[in-house]
């Protein structure tokens, strides 16, 4: 009985210690990350590409993967927040046509009542009713006209 109690208390003390260590580590990590950039979309894409490349065999893929991982790590811990933010902004701008195309495609797949197109001028996703034949679409964002088969 007594022995059980002691071992129970010891377990309690150990779990308290673990909590204290956890809090301490979180605090340390928080302090370390203060004033640093952290992660963004560009970093997630870099890390995702690194993971995909790690499945490929061959020296070339390993090197490219390590470089991408290194860039992501550097950007995450960078203190030059404005520069990193503008890099991400440029990345988002340059990949906008592809991202909008994917968005329109997934919407077309999910929504059988309407059809989604990407404006050729400003890349805004435009929604129209389905099965109306060839129609002229006016982009609500930039007012550009284009014809598509609905």
- Contact set with Zn ion (CB under 5 A): 119, 121-122, 124, 139, 141-142, 144
**Minimal distance, residue 125 CB to Zn ion, in Å:** 10
**Minimal distance, residue 51 CB to Zn ion, in Å:** 35
Query: Of 78 and 124, which has the nearer Cβ to Zn ion?
Result: 124
**Minimal distance, residue 141 CB to Zn ion, in Å:** 5
Query: Of 45 and 137, which has the nearer Cβ to Zn ion?
Result: 137
Query: Of 37 and 117, which has the nearer Cβ to Zn ion?
Result: 117
**Minimal distance, residue 138 CB to Zn ion, in Å:** 9
- Whole-Å CA distances, 26 to 37, 40, 77, 108: 17, 21, 16, 44
Cβ proximity of 25 and 32 under 8 Å:
no
Element (H, E) at 31: helix 2-33
What's the rounded Cα separation, in Å, for the pair 122 and 97? 9
> Where are any strands of DSSP class E within 32-120?
114-118
* Tokens at 97, concatenated: 């046509």
Query: Of 36 and 127, which has the nearer Cβ to Zn ion?
Result: 127
């Amino acid at each position: 009985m007594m022995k059980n109690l002691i071992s129970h208390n010891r377990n309690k003390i150990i779990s308290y210690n673990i909590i204290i260590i956890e809090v301490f580590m979180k605090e340390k990590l928080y302090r370390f990350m203060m004033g640093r950039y952290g992660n963004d979309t560009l970093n997630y894409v870099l890390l995702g590409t690194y993971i995909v490349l790690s499945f490929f065999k061959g020296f070339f893929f390993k090197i490219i993967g390590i470089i991408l991982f290194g860039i992501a790590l550097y950007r995450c811990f960078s203190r030059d927040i404005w520069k990193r933010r503008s890099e991400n902004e440029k990345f988002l701008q340059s990949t906008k046509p592809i991202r909008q195309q994917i968005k329109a495609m997934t919407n077309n797949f999910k929504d059988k009542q309407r059809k989604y197109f990407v404006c050729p001028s400003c890349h805004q996703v435009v929604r129209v009713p389905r099965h109306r034949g060839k129609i002229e679409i006016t982009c609500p964002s930039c007012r550009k006209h284009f014809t598509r088969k609905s």
